[in-house]
């Protein structure tokens, strides 16, 4: 029974050990932060969404990248358009809330929202992200 309990708790204990190690050494835990990619129809919509994300403190930083061409299937047809891309730097723990919020305000029927964890980066910048996005 004790062995089973230890095995079941090991991911939790490992996560706590990583957080303690990070706090003591100041090192970054890979995956603590993420970059979300969100496409928008035009720059006006992109700016409105970016500002809404920042107002809700769901990100520390949002880049608004200029127009890019996109090819995709929509309702069985090949479509081509231009879009604006948002790069959203945030805590990984906020991705679910961010995605739900974007879906509630985005004009697309199915908004393009994907994220990737940040494995490494400038430790000072990564710390700054954490300082500017409240914990859950």
CB-side exposure of 79: number of CA atoms within 13 Å? 9
What is the per-residue pLDDT for 126? 94
> pTM for this structure?
0.81
What is the per-residue pLDDT for 28? 87
Give DSSP secondary structure letters for 33-47: EEEEEEEESSHHHHH
What are the pLDDT digits (tens) for 6-62? 556 666 665 566 566 566 666 789 999 999 999 999 999 999 999 999 999 999 999
**pLDDT above 90: residue 87:** yes
What is the per-residue pLDDT for 18? 57
Close Cβ partners of 18 (under 8 Å, ≥ 6 residues apart): 29
Give the orientation angle of helix 43-55 with respect to helix 95-105, to 10 degrees: 130
**pLDDT above 60: residue 3:** no
In order of their start, the domains of the chain are 1-28 (no CATH), 31-132 (3.30.70.120)
What is the per-residue pLDDT for 17? 63
**pLDDT above 80: residue 96:** yes
What are the pLDDT digits (tens) for 97-110? 999 999 999 999 99
Cα–Cα distance measured from residue 108 to residue 28, given in angstroms and rounded to the nearest whole number: 35
What is the per-residue pLDDT for 136? 77
- E-strand spans in 11-133? 33-40, 61-74, 77-91, 113-117
Quick one: the chain helix, strand, coil %, rounded to 5?
Answer: 45, 30, 25
């Amino acid at each position: 029974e004790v062995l089973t309990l230890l095995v079941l708790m090991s991911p939790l204990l490992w996560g706590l050990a990583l957080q303690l190690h990070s706090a003591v050494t100041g090192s970054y835990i890979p995956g603590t932060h993420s970059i979300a990619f969100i496409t928008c129809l035009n720059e006006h919509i992109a700016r409105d969404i970016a500002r809404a994300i920042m107002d809700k403190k769901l990100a520390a930083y949002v880049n608004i990248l200029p127009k890019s061409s996109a090819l995709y299937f929509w309702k069985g047809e090949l479509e081509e358009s231009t879009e604006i891309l948002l790069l959203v730097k945030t805590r990984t723990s906020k991705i679910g809330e961010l995605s739900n919020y974007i879906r509630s305000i985005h004009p697309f029927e199915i908004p393009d929202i994907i994220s990737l964890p940040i494995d490494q980066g400038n430790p000072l910048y990564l710390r700054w992200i954490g300082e500017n996005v409240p914990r859950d």
